[in-house]
Amino acid sequence: MKWLVCYDIEKDSVRNKVADFCLDKGLERVQYSVFLGSMTRTLAKELGAQIRRKMGKNPGQVRFVPICDKDWKTSFRVQVGDHMGEKASDGK
């Protein structure tokens, strides 16, 4: 199952640490604070526990959202201008 991992973390250094950790675990960055990856629920919970340890006592929130392949394939984005190295498309 695919999972969206979305976070809102106040401190830059902690936010960067979590982002690097997600990338190291093979998640794909789809927005600056949103990652996508395929994993089991058990693995998602383990990843969440590891992220919690990395955050320490720093304020923030990380949300894990399961999403089926069918729903992901029907998702779309709205983008204006270049973003994260990607050119704007026709919205598909």
List, for residues 38-84, the tens digit of each pLDDT value.
Answer: 999 999 999 999 999 999 999 999 999 999 989 989 998 888 877 66
CA torsion sign, 80 to 25 to 5 to 67? positive
The angle formed by the CA atoms of residues 50, 53 and 55, to the nearest 5 degrees, is 110
Chain-centroid distance, C-alpha 77: 15
Say which residue, 69 or 90, is predicted with more confidence: 69
Ranges of each domain in the chain: 2-68
Strand order in the sheet with 2-9: 28-31, 34-38, 2-9, 60-67
Please, what CATH class does the domain formed by 2-68 belong to? alpha beta
**What is the structure's pLDDT at 78?**
86
**What is the structure's pLDDT at 89?**
61
At 87, the pLDDT band (50, 70, 90 cuts) reads low
Provide φ and ψ at 64, rounded to 5°: -105, 120
